[in-house]
Amino acid sequence: MTLREGGRARQLPSTGLDDRFERQLRDLRISVTDRCNFRCVYCMPKEIFGRDYVFLERDELLSFPEIVRLARIGTRLGVRKLRITGGEPLLRKGIEELIAELAELRTPDGARLDIALTTNASALPVKAEALKAAGLQRVTVSLDSLDEERFQAINDVRFPLARVFRGIEAAESAGLGPVKINAVLKRGVNDHEIVSLAEHFRGTGRILRFIEFMDVGASNDWKLDEVVPSAEVVRTVNEVHPLEPLGATSPGETAKRWRYRDGMGEIGVISSVTDAFCGSCTRARVSADGRLFTCLFADTGFDLRSVLRSGADDAEVAAALTGVWRARDDRYSELRAALTARGAGRERIEMSYIGG
Ligand code: SAM
Ligand code: SF4
Ligand code: SF4
């Protein structure tokens, strides 16, 4: 494949791009802001993300043309899925215009990209229609509790449950379904809600996914005994509503899927801690200020923004991306036990900076 920009042409790999473990670059998760209107206690605790916290300035953020250019080049290198995230991605002004431009991109075979967005749903009632019209296909909504008091204690800004449900309904009526619901479980906080969460979404067409609490960042005071293993989640739901395993819908899928035997839908479990899926990890992440991370647990990212702003042509940007991906040997979750023992206090990026 040849990339042409500014009159120059260079060769690019025509097939996918392998890292050191032969994992191909397939998914790009793009964080469009590091800001959020929630202060979820496990993600942006107020003590750290308070009034004095210094968020990125506007000119530090990748602009929409920069994001689109990066996604276009990524597409030539094998990217097939885009996930827009944050912070809270719907806080980024004009987000629907960005989606519209990303939706115009095509793979080398002329196919559309799969474009999804992860959100706390607070702005969906006002944005869902415009996002759908712009070409967004699906949304994932984060919702960790069905108990009003607990939900507000988790988001820590008194955001009411009813408004999240209004957002979910708005997404569905706009055609952004089936909506996936992400629930992060934390021992002693919401693990007793496993069955009630499952029952609430059973038979609704909304797909609930339970996520193991992860040791991302350095602000959430993570402890292994606060993780609720997915095996326990499946066992708990199965005791009440029998489940059977379902195959993955796409390679590199993070969730293991289980179907209710009585045909009332499915749940997913994302076992980043107890059942690492690094072997099939095809994801790269770009932070809002244009750093490329090849692992959610990385401590440093490659400064793509400088490359984009240096006057580099597309082939040069592609070469930078290619170099980083080819050198990739991340498998943090597989090595977690050993690394945690050795690397106490090691710097790590925050989830609100890099997205999910
Ligand atoms: N603000 C949006 C939202 O909450 O959906 C998008 C960004 S948020 C960082 C993406 C996802 O990361 C959310 O589903 C959130 O629950 C999850 N998350 C944040 N911190 C986490 C942690 N320590 N372990 C597991 N999931 C986490
Ligand atoms: Fe905001 Fe999402 Fe983090 Fe909650 S999980 S603080 S909604 S970025
Ligand atoms: Fe991918 Fe890193 Fe998570 Fe492993 S730990 S699945 S390499 S992001």
Contact, 339 vs 331, CB < 8 A?
no
Ligand number nearest CA of 124 is 1
38 CB within 6 A, ligand 2: yes
36 CB within 6 A, ligand 2: yes
Residue 323 has pLDDT above 50, yes or no: yes
Residue 26 has pLDDT above 80, yes or no: yes
Q: What is the structure's pLDDT at 92?
A: 98
Residue nearest (by alpha carbon) to ligand 3 atom 4? 278
Q: What is the pLDDT of residues 28-50, one digit of tens each?
A: 999 999 999 999 999 999 999 99
Q: What is the mean pLDDT of residues 246-250?
A: 80
Q: What is the structure's pLDDT at 347?
A: 61
5-14, 247-256, 309-318: least confidently modelled range: 5-14
Domains and CATH numbers, the chain: 24-354 (3.20.20.70)
Ligand number nearest CA of 142 is 1
Q: What is the structure's pLDDT at 18?
A: 95
Q: What is the pLDDT of residues 179-194, one digit of tens each?
A: 999 999 999 999 999 9
HSE-CB of 25 using CA atoms within 13 angstroms: 32
40 CB within 6 A, ligand 2: yes
Q: What is the pLDDT of residues 212-243, one digit of tens each?
A: 999 876 666 788 899 999 999 999 999 999 99
Which residue shows structure tokens 């029952």?
A: 199
Task: Give the whole-angstrom CA distance, residue 119 versus residue 239.
Answer: 31
Q: What is the mean pLDDT of residues 118-131?
A: 98
Task: Please spell the DSSP secondary structure of 50-99, one letter per residue.
Answer: STT--PPPGGGSPPHHHHHHHHHHHHHTT--EEEEESS-GGGSTTHHHHH
Residue nearest (by alpha carbon) to ligand 1 atom 14? 142
Q: What is the mean pLDDT of residues 116-124?
A: 98
352 CB within 6 A, ligand 2: yes
Residue 9 has pLDDT above 60, yes or no: no
**Residue bearing the bigger pLDDT, 275 or 102:** 102
Between the CA of 140 and the centroid of ligand 1 the distance, in Å, is 11
Q: What is the structure's pLDDT at 254?
A: 87
145 CB within 6 A, ligand 1: no
* Band of residue 1 on the pLDDT scale cut at 50, 70, 90: very low
Q: What is the structure's pLDDT at 336?
A: 77
Residue 6 has pLDDT above 50, yes or no: no
Atom number in ligand 1 closest to CA 141:
5
Contact, 292 vs 286, CB < 8 A?
yes
User: Which of 31, 38, 47, 211 gets mutated to test ligand 2 (max ligand atoms within 8 A of its CB)?
Assistant: 38
Task: Give the whole-angstrom CA distance, residue 17 versus residue 108.
Answer: 14
Task: Give the whole-angstrom CA distance, residue 356 versus residue 346.
Answer: 20
307 CB within 6 A, ligand 3: no
Q: What is the mean pLDDT of residues 264-283?
A: 93
* Band of residue 342 on the pLDDT scale cut at 50, 70, 90: low
Q: What is the structure's pLDDT at 12?
A: 42
Q: What is the structure's pLDDT at 13?
A: 45
Task: Please spell the DSSP secondary structure of 141-197, one letter per residue.
Answer: EE---SSHHHHHHHHSS---HHHHHHHHHHHHHHT--SPEEEEEEBTTTTGGGHHHH
Number of CB atoms found within 10 A of residue 101's CB:
17
**How many helical (H) and strand (E) elements, i.e. helices and strands, does the chain have?**
11, 14
Between the CA of 4 and the centroid of ligand 1 the distance, in Å, is 38
Contact, 190 vs 150, CB < 8 A?
yes
Task: Give the whole-angstrom CA distance, residue 122 versus residue 97.
Answer: 19
Number of CB atoms found within 10 A of residue 114's CB:
15
Q: What is the structure's pLDDT at 154?
A: 96
320 CB within 6 A, ligand 2: no
31 CB within 6 A, ligand 1: no
Residue 350 has pLDDT above 80, yes or no: no
86 CB within 6 A, ligand 2: yes
Contact, 71 vs 37, CB < 8 A?
no
